[in-house]
Amino acid sequence: MDTHNESLNVEATDIAELLERIEGLRRILSAGSSKRHAEIRLMRLFADQRPRTLRQVAEQVGVDQSTANRQVNSALDHGLLSREREAAGLPYLFVITDDGLSLYERYVDYMTARYRAGLEALGMNRAQFEQLMRTFVAALDGDPHAQE
């Protein structure tokens, strides 16, 4: 059997289904709920420890400002973010707290362990998988050198 021709028969819909399944698993593993997922997404943004305004948070997370406001306020209530104002009349700047950074680090450790388990299941095909994933993601991202 010609495995090269077989590999050309993979349908984009099959790949899309697998990627949706991965995304669903990632959400379940990372958070267990949509609220927790939003917290993790914010902590990922703030992990660089740079202060941001609410407008910057909305733009960088890719949500409208009212959604960002709800998520940031929830993170404030849970002690994951703090806010400060440089001067009266200026917008608040939000920064990650030690608890927020700790939550994000635990998330990264947990997800790394889960991904490692998935890679170990590939055995000797790990390097090939990584290279193929890099090519696939680059092509999705519109990289003209993805096929090289």
Interior CA angle at 11 toward 10 and 17, to 5°?
A: 110
Mean pLDDT score, 46-73 = 95
Closest CA to 85 of 99, 77, 74, 95: 95
pLDDT at position 107, please? 86
Report the 10 Å Cβ neighbour count for 148: 7
Q: What is the pLDDT of residue 24?
A: 81
pLDDT at 1: 46
How confident is the model at residue 32, as a pLDDT? 52
How do residues 11-50 score in pLDDT, each as one tens digit?
A: 888 888 888 888 888 777 765 544 577 888 899 999 999 9
Average pLDDT of every residue of the chain: 86
Q: Quick: pLDDT tens for 7-18.
A: 556 788 888 888
Q: Write the CATH number of the domain with boundaries 12-140.
A: 1.10.10.10
Residues in contact with 93: Cβ distance below 8 Å, sequence separation at least 6, in sequence order: 51, 52, 53, 83, 84, 85, 86
Query: What is the radius of gyration, based on Cα positions, of the chain?
Result: 20
**Strands annotated E in 35-98:** 81-84, 93-96
% of the chain with per-residue pLDDT over 70? 86
